[in-house]
Amino acid sequence: MPANSTPSTMLAGRLTISTREFAVREVPVPVPGPGEVRVAVGAAGVCLSDVHLIEGILVPQYLEGDEVTLGHEVAGTVESLGEGVTGVEVGTRVIVQAGKDLPNGRVLTMGVDYDGGWAEYVVAAASAVVAIPDDMPFEQAAIIPDAVSTPWAAISWTGEVKAAESVGVWGVGGLGAHGVQLLRMMGASPIIAIDPLEEARERALRFGADLALDPTNPDFSKHIRAATGGAGLTVAFDFAGVDAVRKQAINSLGLAGRLVIVGMSGTPITIDNSTNFAYLRKQIRGHYGSEPSHVAELVELARAGRIEFSRSVSGIIPLAEAASAIAQLELKEGNPIRLVLVP
């Protein structure tokens, strides 16, 4: 699209931080600065983090001003180039990385600390776009920068999961469903999915879990011990962001077991028996987001056919109806893996 055919305004999903008011409204089309590109958005994922921003559980640390365009899962087409950009061509289909590194060491998150992709256009550093195959739909590509890259980074980087290690996955939603799929690809065994919803447990089994448990089952601990030969879990992932999950996960860990916290609750973490925790040398590790290398790895894995995302898009919703998508996710209507907005 020639630069002079770009409209002067666009629709964008804007959140006012101080009032937590969200609305889709007309705003100026952003202009790419030196070293930046403008991407015509093809699709943008709706994440629980977006709900957390609206609820105030997640608060921007470095946002300039009181408003931000949400959306940190974005795919589209490079539409124009800022001054000095090389190595990126107009018309290239891309994923937009969800973060921005500053010279002072700060790391900004798109859609949180600066404007994101719940819009018709988004501006990003040229170095933050990753080319995708022509046959990868934007709806599937858009979810890679968080719904897939966050569990991938949590598993391979923070959790340091190795083949044949026993793993528990609490919460089989947008992150956990991909976590199960990625753990299967990596050779973790057994993979135990835990979710109170029967539909989520059934989905976990389809995605590669060896066992799916209801956390309210009175024999829950017995099932964990039986599945792990009495040893307990080597790694547990909290993708749910629920306090009760962390207590149950800690108690399910075996010797030197590690709990990786991915879901956000905003409340303190409590260890019931600190002596037992120390004696068994258990660990708690925090995790947030992913690094650029993780997104590039996933694109290559998808290109090679090792992982695919056709089952991950639970619904495609017009950008103008973004508030409806937020409500669906918040209420877990249909128990979605990922809802995607399209301009």
pLDDT of residue 124: 96
pLDDT of residue 106: 84
Length of the chain: 343
Which of 152-161, 178-187, 231-240, 301-310 is the least confident region? 301-310
Cα angle, residue 51 at apex, residues 208 and 340 outer, rounded to 5°: 60
pLDDT digits (tens, 9 = 90+) for 315-325: 999 999 999 99
CA–CA gap between residue 42 and residue 195 (Å, rounded): 32
CA–CA gap between residue 170 and residue 66 (Å, rounded): 34
Residues 6+ apart with CB under 8 A from 223: 211, 213, 217
With 0-12 / 13-18 / 19 or more C-beta atoms within 10 angstroms meaning exposed / middle / buried, residue 296 is middle
pLDDT of residue 4: 54
pLDDT of 181 over the 90 cut = yes
pLDDT of 1 over the 80 cut = no
Positive or negative, the CA dihedral 20, 22, 27, 33 is: positive
pTM of the model: 0.87
How is residue 320 written in tokens?
């103008």
The one-character DSSP state at 30 is P
Averaged pLDDT for residues 166-174? 95
Average per-residue pLDDT in the chain?
94
- Interhelix angle 48-55/322-331, rounded to 10 degrees, is 100
Which of 1-15, 108-122, 259-273 is the least confident region? 1-15
Which of 102-106, 208-212, 232-236, 278-282 is the least confident region? 102-106
pLDDT of residue 104: 84
335 vs 183, which has greater pLDDT? 183
